[in-house]
Amino acid sequence: MNKSTVKSVGVIGLGSMGMGAAKSCIRAGLDVYGVDLNPAALEALGNAGAKAVATDANQFAKELDAVLLLVINAKQVKSVLFDSGLAANLKPQTAVMVSATISAQDAKEIEAGLKAHDLIMLDAPVSGGAVKAEAGEMTIMASGSLLAFDLLKPVLDATAAKVYNIGEEIGLGATVKIIHQLLAGVHIAAGAEAMALAARANIPLDLMYDVVTNAAGNSWMFENRMKHVVDGDYSPKSMVDIFVKDLNLVADTAQDLRFPLPLASTALNMFTSASNAGYGKEDDSAVIKVFDGIELPGVEK
């Protein structure tokens, strides 16, 4: 198989990012096979033009030239690939793009498992949110062999505005994403702290939001997530518990490197507190709910 023959891709995990990536692949002319446990997601992708959808990728494993995994964590990646038997059922030399946020060690373990089945891995975490995924404009930070990049070029072209080649060593892509998540988590936590202080000072949050988004203190995460606070809408785009996981990966990486991360540690404590308070399945902007003595739009006391 060479890159010109990669015409079919199985997209496993049809959440906010996976659905957008799958639709982008359909628009690019690829045969897309969608996999998820959510019947509504399967129906939506089927209506968007998927070749087939199922709760188990083994149903069409032999049809796939490439696989894109956009699940939540390493445990899910390993379950999909190895516990279900998918890796054993894929054609030899199939390219597997692992886009979950995972540790470098997990990435290396997954690669070893794939190699045992003569499969090729690209360690390729993604960023950009649901809107960028829907538009085929994600940012992908990837590491792997030149062959992996070549084989997956049609998928990369379809789903990303920016593809960064971090190097050949599996785990480098995962590490870059973890460092990115340090910033994302700290920015959300800092944004929540600022908006909580504004609420305490009786400054209208829509006004505070407008000021910051037109001034030097703005960030993409503030602009995106604090709008949820202003709207009082905590329906999850990315959950509090996702950042508990990701900031724990940050902490583990820092521990391995014997490197202090005071701001990331504080942000992790905030997200963990929010999760323990019952907000774990809400949008990650719900981390603002850890602050007492304030009134927030749409939040009953």
Domain boundaries, the chain: 3-169, 176-290
> Residue 177 and residue 253: Cα distance in Å, rounded?
11
Closest CA to 251 of 182, 188, 183: 182
Is pLDDT above 60 for 162? yes
> Which pTM does this prediction carry?
0.93
Verify whether residue 177 is a known catalytic residue. Answer: yes
Mean pLDDT of 39-46: 98
Residue 301 confidence (pLDDT) = 64
pLDDT band at 1 (very low <50, low <70, confident <90, very high): very low
Q: Which CATH class is domain 176-290?
A: mainly alpha
Question: Strands 120-123, 126-127: parallel, antiparallel or unpaired by DSSP?
Answer: unpaired
Tell me the fold of 3-169: Rossmann fold (3.40.50)
Give tens-digit pLDDT for 257-290. Answer: 999 999 999 999 999 999 999 999 999 999 999 9
What was the pLDDT predicted at 55? 97
Q: Please, which pLDDT band fits residue 300 given cuts at 50, 70 and 90?
A: confident
Given the residues 23, 78, 132, 177, the one annotated as active site: 177
* Burial (Cβ within 10 Å: 0-12, 13-18, ≥19) of residue 112: exposed
